[in-house]
Amino acid sequence: MHELKLTAREVEALICKAFPDADPERMPRVDEATPGRLRMVGPAGSSMLRPGGVISGPALMSLADTAAYAIVLAHVGEKLMAVTSTLTIHFLRGAKPGDLVADASLLRLGARSAVCDVRLWTESPDDLAAQATVAYTLPAG
């Protein structure tokens, strides 16, 4: 099991520092970070909804990618140039309006890449809205 290099608060602060123009009210928060796992919550907003009253696919993909970035940073430290190399998402059911939760698990962490599983929901972890596999390329050194 990999050790954490940053706490939940440190990861959150680092992401805010990396994206200084982002609206702080709309930034997801890191609720918990433990070895190999991270939970992030994206605040609900009407701009996230698509016709039919469910959270849009791009909003789900954005939180999946952000949660994967956060778990990678939690385990590798301040390597802000880690970049998404692949993101595959499966939409399982409509995500009803509400705060969007992402549970990220670190599947593999190597010297140059990381692979994460991210599960997303609004109502219950038993009623997943989507599941994503996200790979990151890590900077050398």
Q: Each residue of 11-31: pLDDT tens digit?
A: 999 999 988 898 888 899 999
Give the chain's radius of gyration (CA, Å): 14
Distance between CA atoms of 132 and 88, rounded to whole angstroms? 5
Distance between CA atoms of 101 and 63, rounded to whole angstroms? 8
For residue range 72-108, list pLDDT tens digits in order: 999 999 988 889 999 999 999 999 999 999 999 999 9
The answer to whether 97 and 121 have CB atoms below 8 angstroms apart is no
This prediction has a pTM of: 0.94
The stretches of the chain forming alpha helices (DSSP H) are: 8-18, 57-76
